[in-house]
Structure 1
Amino acid sequence: MTIEVFNRHECKYLIDEAVFEEIQEKLIKYMELDNYNKSHELYTISNIYYDTKDNHLIRASLSKPKYKEKLRLRAYGIPKMDEKVYLEIKKKVCGVVNKRRTKLSLEEAYNFVATGEKPEVKAHMNKQVINEIQYILSIYDLEPKLYLAYDRKAFFSKESRDLRITFDTNIRTRRYDLFLERGDYGESLLEKGKWLMEVKAEKNIPLWLSTMLSEYKIFKTSFSKYGREYEKFLIKERSLKGEFEPCLKQYTAAYSAQPQLIQQYL
């Protein structure tokens, strides 16, 4: 059964391919492959990120507030209009990540975000999450902003499903043709041979993992795929226009004006 609602801590690390090759072999002692990877060496995750016309959500996120949220549409591979995808709310409150998602057909998801009107609730949908997404759509005028895809290898702990480690590579993005069914292509976000490693745990990480990270001198970093792409986008825009963007901090004002947004989902 797919988990649709959960809370966890996420730590991110950028590593080279040589390090990835070594540590994935060691992880097998403690962890098992994700079901997707049991039949494929890597599997592809594709996303559409939604934001306001002035990019309020990502601007606020980059200013590192105590509370931030985003809405994205996620698929595995290239979906057709009648295939199931996930519409997700991802929040971070005081360092804890909360993700809430529901299955819809790709067509239902597009219509929901475009109109703000809930689809007819079906057995495969999470009614509560549908209501929460509708609320977000009512307070933000969202539109598709970014296509972002990557290839993933993932592991689950053999002892507890609370610990998951993922490795993402070949991260590619585009700010045009923002439809999942249109194909998997875009510009590279990281240099070739780099992997984004994420440790996702509800509790503290085990001693063996802490020892492994120390042995390979793998240090935690602050990294957001959407955030990194947006920073590159700003640099490109500035070079073209010869202008500087306003300070990111001004875009957090809306949060202090709407404290109920935080409490509603805690």
Structure 2
Amino acid sequence: MATTDSPRAPHAFNRYELKYLVPAAGVEEIRREVAARMRPDGNGGPGGYGVWSLYYDTTGLRFYWEKIEGLRFRRKLRVRRYGELGPAPDDAPVSVEIKQRVNRVTQKRRVLLPYRLARELCDGRRRIAHPEADQPFVDEVLELVQRLDLRPTAITGYRREPFVGVDSDLGLRVTFDHRVRGRDRDLDLRAEAENRAIISPHLVVMEVKANERVPYWITDLAARHGLQVRRISKYCQSVEAFGRAPRSVFHVPETDDLTGPRAVERQPG
């Protein structure tokens, strides 16, 4: 997937976020209502695009527990790749991101780096330099990795359909995330490894992001379709789905029948 982001400076976002679980059978109608007021993100293309994230955490899962306990200030570190998984050159672009929550506001800072340098920084724990990267932010990532002894913990992936606001809804973003999968091994964003459903494939995660306030028509749409705001974390889902922590009250079933077999995908996409 092409991106217009430049690695020269970290992109910063301060946003309010709402998340909903939508039955896959009802997505088409909701998408139609959203598309009547918004436009597809130009980076999406037909059918959206893949989003794959490698999350870092401590051996005691500090970032996981901060989310579960609902701390007013919490954060996490991830490396994100867009598009399809599989072999890629060392200079394939990825985003190194620090995402944090301050009270009700989500803040995200990121910088684009070649995958090789991102691995040297986050896995090798070495100071790296890139002529187009914001060095203070890169050094902040390194300090976080070294001080907390962070290490690769889980990968999540999904197919994202993005919509962006127009006119009075500029800054609004609505995404539909399909086939949410993950794995707890082969933690390389270029590996053609087995992934498993960490949320039932019959459910779609709808995320709403707004700079100041979520418009009334969004909350009205959610109410008419019987949707409720959910505390969903794809990272926490992956940790719990693979038995790294007990299932919390926020856990979403990986399958409709909790006693049945979990869906497994061997294809990387």
Q: Normalised by the size of structure 1, how large is the TM-score?
A: 0.83
Aligned to 1:98: 107
Q: Distance in 1 between matches of 2:182 and 2:99?
A: 19
Q: Tell me, what secondary structure is at the counterpart of 1:48? A: strand
What one-letter code is carried by the residue in structure 1 that aligns with 2:74?
K
The two structures, once aligned, show a CA RMSD in angstroms of 1.9
Q: Is the 8 A contact 1:90 1:99 kept in 2?
A: yes
- Which residue, 58, 61, 72 being the options, matches 1:55? 61
- What is the match of residue 24 of structure 1? 31
Deviation digits for residues 63-107 of structure 1 (CA, Å, limit 9, x no counterpart):
111111100000012343211100000101112111000010000
The aligned counterpart of 1:121 is: 130
Q: Is the 8 A contact 1:148 1:172 kept in 2?
A: yes
How many pairs does the alignment contain? 236
Distance 1:90 1:74 in 2: 12
1:149-195 residue CA offsets vs partner (Å, 9 max, x unmatched): 11100100012441101110111111111000112641101112210
Aligned partner of 1:33 in structure 2 is 40
Find out whether 1:214 has 2:223 as its counterpart. yes
Alpha-carbon shift at residue 214 of structure 1 (Å): 1.6
| Percent of matched pairs sharing the same residue | 28
Which of 149, 157, 169 lines up with 1:149 in the alignment?
Answer: 157
Give the TM-score taking structure 2 as reference length: 0.82
For residue 58 of structure 1, what is the amino acid of its counterpart?
Y
Instruction: Tell me which moved more, 192-201 or 72-81.
Output: 72-81
Distance change >3 Å, CA 60–CA 211, structure 1 → 2 = closer
Residue 116 of structure 1: how far off its partner (Å): 2.6
Partner residue in 1 for 2:257:
none
Conserved in 2, the CA contact under 8 Å of 1:116 and 1:134?
yes
Please give the secondary structure, in 1, of the residue aligned with 2:190. Answer: helix
Q: Which deviates more, 88-97 or 59-68? A: 59-68
- Shift of residue 232, structure 1, vs aligned partner: 2.6
- For residue 256 of structure 2, what is the aligned residue in structure 1? none
Correspondence list, 1:152-191, <5 A: 152-159=160-167, 160-183=169-192, 185-191=194-200
Q: Tell me the CA shift for residue 204 of structure 1.
A: 1.2
* Aligned 1:178-257 pairs, distance under 5 A: 178-183=187-192, 185-234=194-243
Does 2:52 match 1:46? yes
Checking the alignment, whether the CA contact within 8 Å between 2:129 and 2:135 is kept in structure 1 is: no
- Counterpart of 2:197, as a letter, is S
| Richer in helix (by share) | 1
Are the structure 2 counterparts of residues 40 and 143 from structure 1 closer, same or farther at C-alpha, using a change threshold of 3 Å? same
Residue type of the partner of 1:21? E
Query: Residue type matched to 1:110 in 2?
Result: R
Report Cα offsets for 1:106-158 as digits up to 9, x if no partner.
Answer: 000000112333211322x2333213212212321011111111110010001
